[in-house]
């Protein structure tokens, strides 16, 4: 099955030289000197044991065997180039974005249209993952994640601080005569009481021992679903205010306390493997995300290299 080929650089030089019938022109095409091509051809002839070019003065011709070789070699390289071209074209035209559901629903979904209008040559495929899945950093061109640090070596841009505070529908707050102290919250149904954010927030609010066990476990899996239940008046949820701007502005939800906690490691961030550093589609997407955030008054730091693995 496996015949030993001569050195591939020699074959490549031969391929170009056989098309141009000139070492000098072949060198130009390959970005090499004439001497380099001459060297490679000689090497090839050495390996093969026969001449592939006849050296005339100021021109070269393929020998008979050289011509036979050239035919197959040129075709093989043509096939190679075509293959890479095709796949690279396909790659350039499809952007796979992996995002956790929260970000996808609260942020991406409503804005993606603008990206697609700006970049009609790029097809976007959005792959979201739930809160119990790990982001598939390696299967997407770019990933938006929280909680999980990207693999070492990835490029990383913090987007949005994952801060949180209880939010509640105004009618529900009224139903207990208004919410004045953190303890008042415990009079209401707690949406997703297992979310560790609750414990963090109650501790910061001076109630480290708040009993959160009396409500049934029901992790929703995304802030979008929790927010919907809160808006529907089914309970009080712990949410990131930025994602609920609209509901807050429109009065569907209110924020009873100024106390907003921030998760340390759990900011939303955009990241991608280093091989995409120069990828056009990834750059376009990153720039678009950053500019969208800018329109909300949020400014993102530069991309940094992740130095440590999880």
Partner DNA sequence: ATCTATGCATAAGGGAAATTTATGCATGAC
Partner DNA sequence: GTCATGCATAAATTTCCCTTATGCATAGAT
- Rounded distance, CA 39 to CA 33, Å? 10
Q: Within 10 Å of residue 233's Cβ, how many Cβ atoms?
A: 17
Among 37, 69, 36, 35, smallest CA distance to 50 is for: 69
Residue 197: C-alpha distances to residues 47, 214, 251, 266 (Å): 69, 17, 23, 11
User: Segment 142-201, which members bind DNA (CB under 7 A)?
Assistant: 152-153
Residue 280 interacts with DNA (CB under 7 A): yes or no:
no
Region from 9-17, 108-116, 128-136, 282-290 binding DNA, contact rule CB under 7 A? 9-17
Region from 122-130, 133-141, 180-188, 294-302 binding a copy of itself, contact rule CB under 8 A? 133-141
For DNA, the closer CB: 80 or 92: 80
Residue 294 interacts with DNA (CB under 7 A): yes or no:
no
For a copy of itself, the closer CB: 111 or 275: 275
- Rounded distance, CA 148 to CA 310, Å? 8
For a copy of itself, the closer CB: 25 or 219: 25
User: Segment 7-36, which members bind a copy of itself (CB under 8 A)?
Assistant: 8-9, 11-12, 29
Query: What is the nearest approach in angstroms of DNA to the Cβ of residue 272?
Result: 15
Sole binder of a copy of itself in the list 110, 139, 175, 291 (CB under 8 A): 139
- Rounded distance, CA 45 to CA 43, Å? 5
Residue 270 interacts with a copy of itself (CB under 8 A): yes or no:
no
| Distance between first and last Cα of the chain | 43
φ, ψ for residue 128, nearest 5 deg: -100, 155
Sole binder of a copy of itself in the list 35, 61, 80, 176 (CB under 8 A): 80
Selection from a copy of itself, DNA, none that 234 binds (CB < 5 to 8 A by kind) is none
Query: What is the nearest approach in angstroms of DNA to the Cβ of residue 309?
Result: 7
Region from 2-10, 66-74, 229-237, 248-256 binding DNA, contact rule CB under 7 A? 2-10
Those residues with Cβ within 8 angstroms of residue 237's Cβ, 6 or more apart along the chain or in another chain: 166, 167, 168, 191, 192, 223, 226, 227, 229, 230
Binding mask 39-68 for DNA (x = CB under 7 A): xxxxx---------x-x-xxxx--------
For DNA, the closer CB: 22 or 200: 22
Among 129, 92, 142, smallest CA distance to 272 is for: 142
Which positions lie near DNA, rule CB under 7 A? 7, 9-10, 13, 22-24, 27, 31-36, 38-43, 53, 55, 57-60, 152-153
Q: What residue ranges bind a copy of itself (CB under 8 A)?
A: 2-3, 5-6, 8-9, 11-12, 29, 45-46, 48-51, 54-55, 65, 68-69, 71-73, 75-77, 79-88, 90-91, 138-139, 141, 273-276, 278-279
């Amino acid at each position: 099955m496996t015949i030993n080929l001569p050195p591939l650089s020699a074959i490549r030089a031969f391929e170009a030289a056989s098309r141009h019938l000139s070492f000098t022109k072949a060198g130009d095409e390959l970005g090499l000197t004439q001497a380099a091509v001459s060297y490679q051809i000689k090497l090839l002839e050495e390996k093969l044991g026969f001449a592939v070019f006849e050296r005339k003065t100021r021109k070269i011709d393929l020998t008979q065997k050289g011509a036979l070789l050239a035919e197959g070699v040129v075709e093989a390289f043509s096939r190679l180039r075509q293959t890479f071209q095709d796949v690279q074209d396909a790659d350039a035209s499809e952007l796979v974005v992996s995002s956790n559901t929260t970000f996808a629903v609260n942020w991406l979904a409503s804005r993606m249209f603008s990206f697609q209008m700006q970049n009609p040559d790029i097809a976007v495929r959005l792959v979201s993952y739930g809160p119990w899945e790990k982001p598939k950093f390696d299967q997407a061109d770019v990933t938006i994640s929280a909680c999980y640090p990207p693999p070492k070596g990835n490029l990383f841009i913090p987007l949005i601080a994952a801060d949180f505070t209880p939010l509640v529908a105004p009618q529900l707050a009224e139903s207990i005569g208004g919410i004045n102290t953190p303890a008042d919250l415990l009079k209401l149904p707690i949406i997703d009481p297992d979310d560790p954010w609750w414990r963090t927030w109650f501790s910061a609010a001076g109630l480290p021992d708040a009993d959160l066990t009396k409500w049934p476990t029901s992790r929703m899996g995304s802030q979008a679903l929790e927010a919907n239940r809160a808006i529907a008046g089914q309970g009080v949820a712990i949410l990131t205010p930025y994602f609920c701007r609209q509901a807050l502005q429109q009065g569907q939800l209110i924020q009873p306390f100024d106390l907003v906690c921030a998760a340390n490691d759990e900011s939303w961030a955009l990241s991608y493997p280093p091989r995409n550093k120069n990828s056009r589609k990834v750059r376009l997407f990153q720039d678009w995300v950053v500019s969208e955030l800018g329109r909300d008054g949020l400014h993102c730091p530069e991309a940094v290299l992740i130095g440590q693995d999880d």
